[in-house]
Amino acid sequence: MSQYDAPAGVEGDFQPGSRKRVLRNLLGIKRKTEMDAAENEALKAAQEKYYNDPGITDETRFTAELICGMHREWLGGIYE
């Protein structure tokens, strides 16, 4: 596999009808501009959630577990 080949599995599985521009997703989005907007809105919502989370302070350790949870919060409603 070259650096330009899509990986196997869900990371290389494109949404039917998207001309291989959009990964398979839970929302059925086929257009890149729509996916960009959906990801952006989800990112804003996730940021707002964590910004207002009293459990996240200056002392919070950003562990792999926390970062994975944040990533799931951001993209979990869009991708499998």
Write out the residue range of the structural domain in which residue 63 sits: 10-75
> Domain for residue 2, yes or no?
no
pLDDT band at 36 (very low <50, low <70, confident <90, very high): very high
Q: What is the mean pLDDT of residues 59-73?
A: 96
pLDDT of residue 8: 63
- Residue 66: count of CB within 10 angstroms of its CB: 14
Distance between CA atoms of residues 38 and 36, nearest Å = 6
| Residue 20 exposed, middle or buried by CB count within 10 Å (0-12, 13-18, 19+) | exposed
- Check if the beta carbon of residue 13 is closer than 8 Å to that of residue 23: yes
Query: Based on the structure, what is the number of domains in the chain?
Result: 1
Prediction pTM value? 0.81
> Domain for residue 50, yes or no?
yes
Mean of the per-residue pLDDT values of the chain: 91
Return the higher-pLDDT residue of 3 and 68: 68
> Domain for residue 48, yes or no?
yes
> Domain for residue 5, yes or no?
no
> Domain for residue 37, yes or no?
yes
> Domain for residue 3, yes or no?
no
> Domain for residue 43, yes or no?
yes
